[in-house]
Amino acid sequence: MNDFDIMQPNLNLIEIDNNEELIKEFIKDMILAPSLSAHKWSKITNQTPNLKIGYPGQHLASLITGMKGSATGARGNDIIDGSEVKSCSKIDQSDKCNNCKTTVLRTTIKCPNCGSTDIKRNNDSKWLIPVRSEDELRMLKEETPRFIFLVTDYPKFEENNYNDIRIRAFEIWVKSERCKNFIVMMESYYRNIFLKHIERNPNKTPAPKNLFPDNYPFYMCNPIKTFECIITNAMKDYEINIIKYIQPNANRYNIESEIMPFNLLSINEYNLLKSKIPNFNNKTLLNEKIRNYLSLRDTDKQIKIIGNKKHKN
């Protein structure tokens, strides 16, 4: 099969329509309303208002792709065509006081313990992809048509604006030539990290593969953005604006993948591109074509286990 056929969602399995309306309604019911309640109670209990969005993420993925789940929960496919859904949320992560190391809520301006306003705001949520056996690796490679990555974050995090929320969805079509780095990365995680850890300590389950939104390895898998919405003023008179939505039935083959931000390039990668591409400069868009000159970094291919030495004797 060529990429054109590979990247065509299975039309027979698309059953949900009126998607944009449903998505807005869902965000209202399942993300904004619970979040408002959580914040109300958090003020009283001083417990985290962080709501895990794992399952809401799967609902959202169904509404975006127009395909239902298989409803059985843990086993079974997240989406009826076999797609896997990974969610991560940067909303309401707990923060830390730089002065006394107390955990501080996102909405709290001063540390409740020492009064310091020097708060480390965490913004490092990631997707977790476990591969724990040859069979799981085989299923990932052969039976999963796409991974759907959802991320909820603050688009104006740098400005300390925690009122506007952004939700984005990306697709990686596992078997396509365009997304081939994804399999390379997962296979190397399994062989070079997972199995090596098991070899050293059979009783401990190694951490799953981490994939960070907006980082170099993720861009190198050529993710295609299928959905983006901005919720302004999420804690009050919110407004939900869908600014990008690829229809469920659309073939993904001709859709551009995300442009990589320039500041993710290392010096070596910059120099490599400069040597290959005429007129290359820091205004050049790092699109899929240009990224073809780049490779996954060593850290994504073969991570050496640090501390091997002590096991030699």
**Residue nearer to Zn ion on the CB measure, 98 or 201:** 98
Question: Total residues contacting Zn ion (rule CB under 5 A)?
Answer: 8
CA nearest 41: which of 32, 52, 28, 50?
50
Q: Which stretch binds Zn ion (CB under 5 A): 93-101, 132-140, 158-166, 241-249?
A: 93-101
Of 97, 131, 174, 231, the residue at the interface with Zn ion (CB under 5 A) is 97
Of 7, 80, 105, 111, the residue at the interface with Zn ion (CB under 5 A) is 111
Q: Which stretch binds Zn ion (CB under 5 A): 40-48, 71-79, 104-112, 134-142?
A: 104-112
Are residues 54 and 112 in contact, defined by beta-carbon separation less than 8 angstroms?
no
- Cβ at position 30, least distance to Zn ion in Å: 34
Instruction: Answer yes or no whether residue 113 interacts with Zn ion by CB under 5 A.
Output: yes
**Residue nearer to Zn ion on the CB measure, 110 or 138:** 110
Q: Which stretch binds Zn ion (CB under 5 A): 48-56, 98-106, 258-266, 279-287?
A: 98-106
- Cβ at position 60, least distance to Zn ion in Å: 36
As a three-state string, the secondary structure of the chain is: CCHHHHCCCCHHHCCCCCHHHHHHHHHHHHHHHHHHHHHHHHHHHCCCCCCCCHHHHHHHHHHHHCCCCCCCCCCCCCCCCCCEEEEEECCCCCEEECCCCCEECCCCCCCCCCCCCCEECCCCCCEEECCCCHHHHHHHHHCCCEEEEEEEECCCHHHCCCCCEEEEEEEEECCCCCCHHHHHHHHHHHHHHHHHHHHHCCCCCCCCEEECCCCHHHHHCCCEEEEEEEEECCCCCCEEEEEEECCCCCCCCCCCCCCECHHHCCHHHHHHHHHHCCCCCCCCCECHHHHCCCCCCHHHHCCCCCCHHHHCC
Instruction: Answer yes or no whether residue 99 interacts with Zn ion by CB under 5 A.
Output: yes
Of 4, 55, 94, 114, the residue at the interface with Zn ion (CB under 5 A) is 114
**Residue nearer to Zn ion on the CB measure, 116 or 232:** 116
- Cβ at position 113, least distance to Zn ion in Å: 4
**Residue nearer to Zn ion on the CB measure, 97 or 174:** 97
**Residue nearer to Zn ion on the CB measure, 111 or 129:** 111
CA nearest 7: which of 137, 259, 260, 177?
177
Of 50, 102, 188, 251, the residue at the interface with Zn ion (CB under 5 A) is 102
Instruction: Answer yes or no whether residue 100 interacts with Zn ion by CB under 5 A.
Output: yes
**Residue nearer to Zn ion on the CB measure, 88 or 111:** 111
- Cβ at position 233, least distance to Zn ion in Å: 29
**Residue nearer to Zn ion on the CB measure, 113 or 268:** 113
- Cβ at position 43, least distance to Zn ion in Å: 19
- Cβ at position 119, least distance to Zn ion in Å: 8
Taking phi over 0 as left and psi of -120 to 50 as alpha, with beta for the rest, 97 belongs to beta
Binding interface with Zn ion (CB under 5 A): 97, 99-100, 102, 111, 113-114, 116
